[in-house]
Amino acid sequence: GENVEQHPSTLSVQEGDSAVIKCTYSDSASNYFPWYKQELGKRPQLIIDIRSNVGEKKDQRIAVTLNKTAKHFSLHITETQPEDSAVYFCAASRDYKLSFGAGTTVTVRA
């Protein structure tokens, strides 16, 4: 099955700096790549996604890039704010089944 690896597992950034999280996937047939944000004790929330026919997508301070050849995709958060502190999960989808990375705990220091 699909194997998704996510790095780093923890990330601490100064408020206002950028944060980058990287994921790799194993199944070249995966065609949809969402990112979720999960605050402590809460449900994961979809924050951005990208399909395999697109290389980059941006929504305000967050952006996702996809390199199909290398089978990796990344989440970029610019101008980080304290409310960006959370656990972020990447996922890859084939046949409408999601496989998740292990998560990155992001801490934004004031």
Binding region for other proteins (CB under 8 A): 1, 4, 6, 32, 34, 42-46, 49, 51, 89, 93, 96-103
Residue closer to other proteins by CB (options 9, 14) is 9
The least distance separating other proteins from the CB of residue 3, rounded to whole angstroms, comes to 11
Residue closer to other proteins by CB (options 80, 101) is 101
Q: How far apart are the first and last CA of the chain?
A: 41
The least distance separating other proteins from the CB of residue 65, rounded to whole angstroms, comes to 18
Residue closer to other proteins by CB (options 74, 93) is 93
Question: Residue type at 14?
Answer: Q
Beta 104-109 vs 10-14: how paired, if at all? parallel
Residue closer to other proteins by CB (options 27, 78) is 27
Residue showing tokens 């780093």: 8
Classify burial at 35, counting beta carbons within 10 Å of its beta carbon; exposed 0-12, middle 13-18, buried 19 or more. Answer: buried
Task: State how far the Cα of 94 lies from the Cα of 71, in Å rounded to an integer.
Answer: 14
Task: State how far the Cα of 90 lies from the Cα of 43, in Å rounded to an integer.
Answer: 15
